[in-house]
Every structure is written in C-alpha cells, then in structure tokens.
C-alpha cells in the first residue's frame, strides 16, 4: 500500500494489459493505485475505499463508463472522473461531459499525458500543491462577484450568498477562463485552448457548449435566458460580472 499522502486513483478498464500498464505507471509517478475490471468491480471498490480520482474507460462489458459516471453524480459523488475514449468517438466525450466527468483523454495516448491531466485535475480540487506559475497567478487573483454569486480564482470556489456550489474541475476551469476574459467575447476554440492547453479537436466546440449549459444551471435564474453567461451568436461566449 502506498503512502497515505499519495493521491489514491481508481483505474477502471476491462483491458487487462492497459489496466496493468496504467496501474504500474501511475504507481511509479507518485500515486496510490487500485484497479477494477468493470463497473461492478468499481462500485465494490468505491463502497469500501476513498479515492481522489477515477480513470474510467468509456467502453466496457455491462454498464458503460458514461453510465457509471452519471450514476455516481446522481448519487452525489464528487470524486473527479477522467474518461478514456476512442479517438473517433466524439459522442462519447460529449455524453461524458453531460454526465459530469471532469476531463477526457482519447486513446491511444502517452501515459505521461495522463499523469499531467490527473495532476491538473487534482490541483484544481486542492489535492496537489500549485505550481510556481499558479502561485504567482493566485497571488494577483481576487474574488469576482456577479449578482449573489462569487468565484474565488485562487481556490476555484463558487459560492452563492456564502454557500458553496459544487463544480466539476472542468466547470471550474471554464468559469475561470471566462472570468479572466469577463466582458470580452471568447470563441469556443479560445476557451478550449485556455482550459486544456491543447489544439482544438473535433469535439472541442460541442464540449464547450455542454459545459456552458451545465454552468448556467449552477448560477443563472433562467438558464434559457441567461443574465451573466451569454452567447454571442457566431462568435462565442461572454461573461458579465458586477
């Protein structure tokens, strides 16, 4: 068993070879790792252990990864989820974001990229220390208010009248990007690059749309007629704050 100070990761994948490879690689890179071969096995592990993040394959026999993620979110679980998808399966990525996963990674991928994405998610949840660059940015950040809501750019924390509102790390990253460009129209492609640091992929625009819809449900009185997070037709989105 790895040290108690190491983030505990659950790898869920029916591919024995890939599951073993990821378990070994993540263990060599500072994580405590458990693995599960399918959703039922994962549920048993989640019932008995606490995890800091789940790496979840989208295609498995029986209950699919997206269905497991949706079920966990519906049950109130806030553990971050990183979804592994096939490169061509855009619909799976969109469905995953709609289900409340925090990020996705298309197969095939370099194991090092998986580690970097896991670390980025855990930092947003406060499970890992910030990098030097993030500390500098946080030092100059402040709370930004809009209506009854406030967002702390340093803690990535959204509140309404002082009450915490849960956001996935993907939603945190999107709201942070919008706030940094508040009052300015930002394209879907720009937002994707600000959040992921990667070039735009075919699912980027739709994934941003899905996350915007989820964000609006968190702080707009009428998500269909938003006051703060507005669509600029043909150009992107703009967030208006106080």
pLDDT digits (tens, 9 = 90+) for 146-168: 999 999 988 788 999 888 888 88
For the domain covering 8-125, report its CATH number.
3.40.50.2300
Q: In the chain, where does the domain assigned CATH 1.10.10.10 lie?
A: 143-239
Handedness of CA 30, 25, 102, 119 (dihedral sign): positive
Pick the CATH number of 143-239 from 1.50.10.10, 2.60.120.10, 1.10.10.10, 2.60.40.10: 1.10.10.10
Q: In the chain, where does the domain assigned CATH 3.40.50.2300 lie?
A: 8-125
Residue 139 pLDDT class (50, 70, 90 cuts): very low
Average pLDDT over residues 97-119: 90
**pTM for the model:** 0.70
Handedness of CA 120, 126, 132, 135 (dihedral sign): positive
Average pLDDT over residues 176-199: 85
Handedness of CA 101, 102, 104, 109 (dihedral sign): negative
């Amino acid at each position: 068993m790895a040290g108690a100070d190491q983030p505990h990761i659950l790898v869920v994948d029916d591919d024995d070879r890939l599951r073993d490879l990821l378990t070994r690689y993540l263990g060599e890179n500072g994580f405590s790792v458990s693995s599960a071969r399918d959703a039922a096995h994962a549920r048993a592990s989640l019932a008995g252990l606490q995890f800091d993040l789940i790496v979840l394959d989208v295609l498995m026999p029986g209950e699919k990864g997206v269905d497991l993620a949706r079920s966990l979110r519906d049950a109130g679980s806030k553990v971050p989820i990183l979804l592994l998808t096939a490169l061509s399966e855009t619909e799976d990525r969109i469905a995953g974001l709609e289900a409340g996963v925090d990020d996705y990674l298309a197969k095939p991928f370099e194991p090092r990229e998986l580690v970097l994405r896991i670390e980025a998610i855990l930092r947003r949840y406060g499970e890992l220390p910030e990098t030097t660059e993030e500390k500098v940015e946080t030092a100059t950040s402040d709370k930004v208010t809009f209506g009854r809501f406030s967002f702390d750019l340093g803690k990535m924390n959204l509140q309404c009248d002082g009450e915490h509102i849960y956001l996935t790390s993907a939603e945190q990253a999107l709201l942070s990007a919008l706030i940094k460009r508040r009052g300015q129209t930002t394209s879907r492609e720009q937002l994707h690059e600000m959040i992921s640091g990667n070039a735009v992929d075919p699912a980027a625009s739709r994934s941003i749309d899905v996350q915007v819809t989820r964000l609006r449900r968190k702080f707009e009185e009428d998500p269909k007629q938003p006051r703060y997070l507005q669509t600029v037709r043909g150009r992107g989105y703009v967030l208006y704050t106080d």
